[in-house]
């Protein structure tokens, strides 16, 4: 296992060097008009650096690969233009980019979303081209937040799934664990090439053990495979869980594994664009038929759908664990404090009456 | 546990035992520190889960819209005004409700829990305006010299600065609709943003579409908003959406002498016509 | 792999008003590029997304059989933004088709078997594709007896009327055409709801007979018990579902029933498979 040592004094220089080969994305501090401070993931301008002290962002970095609004096809509706009414793919820049400072649970989330967009029958070119053009330089989480429950959901503050490089903050330096060739290319482009000594591997393991121990919340998932879909679906606890719920899309928008989208056509003058937006299974419109029939017209049905999808349908369909990586953003942002950790425990402890 | 929580539990338990109501709506402790969660008790035992503290920031009137049961509801000043509004707008009838009034000295700000929320700092209706029983003695109402100072500050901006201010205000909106859904006034079966024939507003992250949503929603709440702050409490991006509804509240007061939710016998000004209504916009 | 969101350009070649109240029209589309037609090569039971630039897309069952070359046919009910726009389009207009999408009726499993086709209202589209496919001289000998029960509210609301009456005359297919009610004294066929006619006219079950059912939820609700009392087992009843769709390729996530996506794992399911899923359709 190769570990590179990056003195923090060399960090900004290396990042600057990497800009020659990569578009950079990372967390930066943002102050809004109310003077509220928060961190957001965005494309870095030529003089911006990723903030490696950033706390968790409200929105996950899934937007770097899957923008909230993304153009797909365009067409001219002008009959005098040749090829009118024939749709064409929009030109998007897929030159190499690097997302720096992404948390391990967010990187793992993208590997789960990949299962949806890259299948043996179809490949979504927009998502896949962006994902494949991206190098993920993750930052291990030495001090997990109170909302982190990644160790219960198949991830970890020091997880490596979905990452090309794992940076570990070791005080005056970063220890960079090289995971893939893509990661190596990034480190080369940044000029980070000092090998760390043998003690570094040990140090990483120590920090990892401490971080995993510090994850306070534990959630049970071992019984979820034992129940059938119908047993959990027909369980009596959903009405109680759903009472407080207000049908907004907050959890789905902040969640790194949520991928559902809507497709819309918008026309201006004689030219039209087909694009997609993040959509949410929590909205009543999500499943509304043209006839007016709505299979999930009641709010309890939608609440149940979200948790069943995350914790059961995905689990059964792909056999890769649940569709939740334990980042805790939904818990933090939900206006009515619907807590997936609580719901997961209820589902996990459920014993159907025989 | 403080005496107010104890009293609320006691009253709730009694009205359930006496069969006065089938359910009581209040708050319970959230799963993370300094949060609360809307909660419905159907049995006297379940009323032990009610709490009341400075983090009960949502508006419970949101949960009674269109229900058919007899409902007990714990209401602070602003919530009670929304209940009046619901009654006027036929979303619930007075005899379905048993209102447990709670005088309120203000809720904590989401990010600075030692401070009062913005809307609580300018609140002039801390005591419930309608109730069947009060859980505590009324508190003194605030006397404010200039309750709309914040609105006047924006009105005083020049045109470009004002527009820039509104653009910045809404730049982080992700169209999650938490504000709309937490608001008791927003009960349209199909919201205007979800209409497709005709489609009024685009669904993407286009700035104009985002602004249209917020401006139009504010107008739909004009003359009905009680400034309860549930919209801001719900917003995950901490957007000051009340900037627009406060302006319209000020206009309702200046133009029609109107404050929402104070009188069960009167309909809001945009619902009615009076020959004396201000009409200097007709030139 | 090709971009699955890119429609094949097509031209409207013919428009027929399919029902007397004009709420349904049958559209015949021709591919602008010959090689697209070859790539399209669908199977009876599949659907496609009809794509109108500037308006949107709608998932519609393919009404033409793969044995009908040179065109594809769809029958569309006018109900919303895109379908209303489509109803106002003219022969010669250009639009797009994405597909074929979804799975198809299990033709491999049905070889050598008897098939009972049951349809109601305007859900008959993929059933027409199936009947034309089976009756094609190259295919007819592959199947045993074919029975069809198809009903609509009134004679003028039956789809593909001329073809129905032609099939009725044939001796290699048993047609049981029905209407809910009619004042027409010259109506020659059955009068009664589809589930009732199924009970009266459909063949009793045996291990070699399968039923394909496609119709509005209310028809399916009452047809199921009728079939069960004739002895059909859950894996002998094949259904075609519908749901709100956008991508049609199993990615946007909205058309799921439990862990199955109607656009990709369906729309064709056996009753046995459906009974294992939540009833959210």
Residues C229-254: what's their mean pLDDT? Answer: 93
pLDDT tens digits, residue range B44-98? Answer: 999 999 999 999 999 999 999 989 999 999 999 999 999 999 999 999 999 999 9
Residues B15-31: what's their mean pLDDT? Answer: 96
**Which of A348, A340, A346 lies closest to A251, judged by CA?**
A340
Residue A249 in contact with partner chain B when CB distance is under 8 A: yes
| Domains, chain C, ordered by start | 8-99 (2.40.30.10), 107-240 (3.40.50.80)
**Which of A198, A238, A165 lies closest to A15, judged by CA?**
A165
pLDDT tens digits, residue range A63-79? Answer: 999 999 999 999 999 99
pLDDT tens digits, residue range B111-164? Answer: 888 999 999 999 999 999 999 999 999 999 999 999 999 999 999 999 999 999
pLDDT tens digits, residue range A71-108? Answer: 999 999 999 999 999 999 999 999 999 999 999 999 99
pLDDT of residue C172: 93
Among residues of chain A, what percentage have pLDDT more than 70? 99
Dump the DSSP string for C139-192.
TGGGS--EEEEEEESSGGG-TTHHHHHHHHH-SSSEEEEEES----TT--SEES
Dump the DSSP string for C260-277.
EETTTT-SEEEHHHHHTS
The per-residue b/e assignment along A222-233, b for 16 or more CB within 10 angstroms, e otherwise, is eebeebebeebb
pLDDT of residue C146: 95
Residues A263-291: what's their mean pLDDT? Answer: 94
Distance (Å) from the C-alpha of residue C280 to the closest C-alpha of chain B? 21
Cα B28 from Cα B25, distance rounded (Å):
10
pLDDT tens digits, residue range C20-77? Answer: 999 999 999 999 999 999 999 999 999 999 999 999 999 999 999 999 999 999 999 9
Nearest by CB to C251, from A116, A281, A293: name it. Answer: A116
Interface test with chain C among A74, A257, A265, by most C beta carbons within 10 Å: A265
Residues of B with CB under 8 A from a CB of C: 196-197, 199
Neighbour subunits, A (≥3 Cβ pairs < 8 A): B, C
Do the Cβ atoms of A264 and C56 come within 8 Å? yes
**Local structure of residue C232 (DSSP, 8 states):** -
Do the Cβ atoms of A331 and B32 come within 8 Å? yes
Cβ neighbours of A253 in B, within 8 Å = 174, 176, 236
Neighbour subunits, B (≥3 Cβ pairs < 8 A): A, C
Residue A218: exposure state from Cβ atoms within 10 A (0-12, 13-18, ≥19): exposed
Q: With the CA atoms of C226, C230, C234 and C238 taken in that order, what torsion angle do they form, in degrees rounded to the nearest 10?
A: -70
Dump the DSSP string for C69-125.
-S-EEEEEE--SHHHHHHHT--TT-EEEEEEEES----HHHHTTSEEEEEEEGGGGH
User: With 70 as the cut, is the pLDDT of residue B1 above it?
Assistant: no
Backbone angles phi, psi at C262, to 5 degrees: -60, -30
Could you tell me which chain C residue has the CA closest to the CA of B197? C81
Global pTM exceeds 0.90: yes
Reported confidence tier of residue B222, pLDDT bands at 50, 70, 90: very high
Residues A33-37: what's their mean pLDDT? Answer: 73
**Which of B2, B81, B75, B14 lies closest to B43, judged by CA?**
B14
Reported confidence tier of residue A217, pLDDT bands at 50, 70, 90: confident
Residue A123 in contact with partner chain C when CB distance is under 8 A: yes
Residue A269 in contact with partner chain C when CB distance is under 8 A: no
Cβ neighbours of C32 in A, within 8 Å = 86
Residues C202-228: what's their mean pLDDT? Answer: 89
Residue A262 in contact with partner chain B when CB distance is under 8 A: yes
Nearest by CB to A336, from B38, B177, B194: name it. Answer: B38
pLDDT of residue B271: 86
Reported confidence tier of residue C134, pLDDT bands at 50, 70, 90: very high
Chain B and chain C share a number of CB contacts under 8 A equal to 6
Cβ neighbours of C24 in A, within 8 Å = none
Q: How far is CA A323 from the centre of its chain?
A: 11
Distance (Å) from the C-alpha of residue B87 to the closest C-alpha of chain C? 35
User: Residue A74 has which token pair?
Assistant: 């365009």
Cβ neighbours of B199 in C, within 8 Å = 81
Do the Cβ atoms of A248 and B237 come within 8 Å? no
User: With 90 as the cut, is the pLDDT of residue B197 above it?
Assistant: no
Residue A268 in contact with partner chain B when CB distance is under 8 A: no
Residue A274 in contact with partner chain C when CB distance is under 8 A: yes
Residue B228 in contact with partner chain A when CB distance is under 8 A: no
Cβ neighbours of B197 in C, within 8 Å = 80-81, 84
Reported confidence tier of residue C19, pLDDT bands at 50, 70, 90: very high
pLDDT of residue A198: 87
pLDDT of residue B280: 80
ipTM above 0.90, yes or no: yes
Distance (Å) from the C-alpha of residue A333 to the closest C-alpha of chain C? 23
Q: With the CA atoms of C256, C261, C263 and C268 taken in that order, what torsion angle do they form, in degrees rounded to the nearest 10?
A: -110
What is the number of alpha carbons within 13 Å of residue A122 lying toward its C-beta? 22
**Which of A2, A91, A99 lies closest to A44, judged by CA?**
A99
Cβ neighbours of A34 in B, within 8 Å = 238, 240
pLDDT of residue C280: 84
Distance (Å) from the C-alpha of residue A94 to the closest C-alpha of chain C? 16
Residue C92 contacts residue C123 (beta carbons within 8 Å): no
Distance (Å) from the C-alpha of residue A45 to the closest C-alpha of chain C? 31
Cα C193 from Cα C151, distance rounded (Å):
7
- What 3 state SS string does A322-338 have? CCCCCCCHHHHHCCCCC
User: Residue A112 has which token pair?
Assistant: 């789960």
User: With 80 as the cut, is the pLDDT of residue C113 above it?
Assistant: yes
Residue C117 contacts residue C33 (beta carbons within 8 Å): no
Do the Cβ atoms of C80 and B199 come within 8 Å? no
Region for A172 from its dihedrals, namely left if φ exceeds 0, alpha if ψ lies in -120 to 50, beta otherwise: alpha
Residue A53 in contact with partner chain C when CB distance is under 8 A: no
User: With 80 as the cut, is the pLDDT of residue A266 above it?
Assistant: yes
């Amino acid at each position: 296992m190769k570990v590179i040592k990056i003195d923090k004094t060399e960090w900004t220089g290396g990042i600057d060097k990497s800009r020659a080969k990569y578009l950079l994305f990372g967390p930066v501090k943002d102050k809004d008009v109310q003077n509220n401070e928060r961190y957001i993931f965005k494309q870095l301008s030529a003089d911006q650096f990723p903030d490696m002290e950033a706390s968790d962002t409200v929105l996950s970095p899934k937007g770097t690969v899957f923008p909230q609004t993304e153009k797909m096809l365009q067409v001219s509706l002008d009959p005098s233009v040749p090829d009118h009414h024939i749709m064409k793919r929009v030109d998007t820049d897929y030159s190499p980019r690097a997302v720096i400072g992404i948390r391990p649970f967010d990187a793992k989330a993208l590997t789960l979303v990949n299962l949806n967009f890259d299948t043996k029958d179809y490949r979504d070119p927009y998502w896949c081209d962006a994902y494949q053009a991206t190098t993920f330089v993750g930052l291990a989480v030495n001090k997990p937040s109170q909302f982190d429950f990644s160790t219960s959901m198949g991830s970890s503050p020091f997880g490596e799934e979905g990452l090309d490089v794992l940076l570990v903050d070791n005080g005056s330096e970063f220890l960079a664990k090289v995971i893939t060739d893509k990661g190596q290319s990034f480190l080369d482009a940044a000029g980070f090439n000092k090998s760390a000594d043998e003690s570094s591997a040990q140090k990483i393991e120590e920090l990892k053990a401490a971080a995993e121990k510090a994850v306070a919340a534990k959630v049970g998932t071992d019984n979820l495979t034992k129940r059938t879909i119908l047993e959990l679906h027909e369980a009596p606890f959903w009405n109680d869980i759903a009472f407080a719920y207000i049908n907004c899309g907050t959890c789905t928008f902040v969640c790194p594994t949520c991928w559902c989208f809507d497709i819309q056509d918008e026309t201006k003058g004689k030219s039209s664009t087909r694009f997609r937006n993040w959509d949410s299974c929590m909205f009543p419109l999500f499943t509304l038929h043209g006839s007016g029939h709505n299979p999930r017209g009641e709010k309890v049905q939608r609440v149940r759908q979200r948790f069943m999808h995350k914790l059961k349908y995905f689990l059964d369909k792909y056999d890769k664990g649940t569709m939740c990586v334990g980042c805790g953003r939904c818990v933090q942002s939900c206006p009515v404090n619907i807590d997936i950790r609580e719901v997961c425990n209820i589902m996990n402890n459920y014993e159907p009456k025989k | 546990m403080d005496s107010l929580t104890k009293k609320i539990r006691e009253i709730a338990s009694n009205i359930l035992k006496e069969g006065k109501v089938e359910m009581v709506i209040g708050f319970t402790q959230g799963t993370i520190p300094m949060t609360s969660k809307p909660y419905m008790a159907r049995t006297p035992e379940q009323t032990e889960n009610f709490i009341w503290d400075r983090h009960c920031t949502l508006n419970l009137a949101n949960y009674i819209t269109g229900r058919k049961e007899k409902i007990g509801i714990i209401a602070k000043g602003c919530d009670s005004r929304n209940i009046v509004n619901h009654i006027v707008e036929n979303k619930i009838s007075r005899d379905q409700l048993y209102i447990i009034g709670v005088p309120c000295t203000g809720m904590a700000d989401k990010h600075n829990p030692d401070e009062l929320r913005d809307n609580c700092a300018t609140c002039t209706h801390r005591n419930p305006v309608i109730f069947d029983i009060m859980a505590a003695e009324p508190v003194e109402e605030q006397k404010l010299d200039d309750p709309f100072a914040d609105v006047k500050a924006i009105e005083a901006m020049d045109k470009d600065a004002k527009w820039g201010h509104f653009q910045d205000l809404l730049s982080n909106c992700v169209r999650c609709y938490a504000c709309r859904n937490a608001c008791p006034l927003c009960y349209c079966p199909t919201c205007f943003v979800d209409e497709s024939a005709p489609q009024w507003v685009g669904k993407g992250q286009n700035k104009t579409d985002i602004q249209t949503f917020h401006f139009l929603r504010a107008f739909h709440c004009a003359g009905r908003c009680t400034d309860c702050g549930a919209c801001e409490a719900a917003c995950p991006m901490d957007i000051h959406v009340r900037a627009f509804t406060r302006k319209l509240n000020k206009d309702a007061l200046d133009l029609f002498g109107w404050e929402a939710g104070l009188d069960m016998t009167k309909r809001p000004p945009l619902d009615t016509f009076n020959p004396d209504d201000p009409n200097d916009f007709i030139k | 792999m090709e971009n699955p969101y890119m429609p094949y350009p097509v031209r409207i070649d013919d428009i027929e008003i399919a029902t007397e109240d004009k709420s349904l029209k049958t559209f015949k589309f021709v591919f602008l590029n010959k090689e697209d037609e070859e790539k399209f090569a669908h199977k009876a039971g599949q659907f496609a997304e009809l794509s109108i630039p500037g308006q949107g897309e709608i998932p519609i069952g393919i009404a033409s059989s793969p044995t009908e070359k040179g065109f594809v046919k769809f029958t569309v009910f006018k109900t919303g933004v895109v379908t209303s726009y489509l109803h106002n389009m003219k022969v010669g207009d250009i639009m797009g088709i994405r597909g074929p999408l979804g799975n198809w009726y299990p033709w491999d499993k049905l070889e050598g078997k008897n098939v009972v086709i049951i349809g109601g209202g305007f859900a008959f589209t993929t059933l027409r594709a199936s009947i034309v496919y089976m009756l094609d001289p190259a295919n007819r000998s592959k199947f045993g007896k074919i029975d069809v029960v198809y009903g609509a509210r009134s004679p003028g609301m039956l789809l593909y009327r001329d073809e129905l009456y032609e099939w009725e005359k044939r001796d290699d297919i048993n047609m049981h055409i029905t209407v809910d009610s009619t004042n027409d004294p010259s109506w020659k066929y059955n009068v009664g709801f589809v589930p009732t006619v199924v009970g009266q006219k459909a063949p009793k079950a045996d291990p070699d007979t399968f039923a394909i059912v496609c119709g509005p939820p209310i028809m399916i609700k009452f047809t199921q018990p009728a079939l069960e009392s004739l002895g059909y087992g859950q894996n002998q009843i094949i259904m075609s579902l519908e749901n709100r769709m956008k991508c049609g390729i199993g990615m946007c996530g909205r058309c799921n029933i439990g862990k199955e996506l109607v656009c990709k794992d369906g729309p064709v399911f056996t009753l046995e498979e459906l009974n294992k899923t939540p009833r959210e359709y």
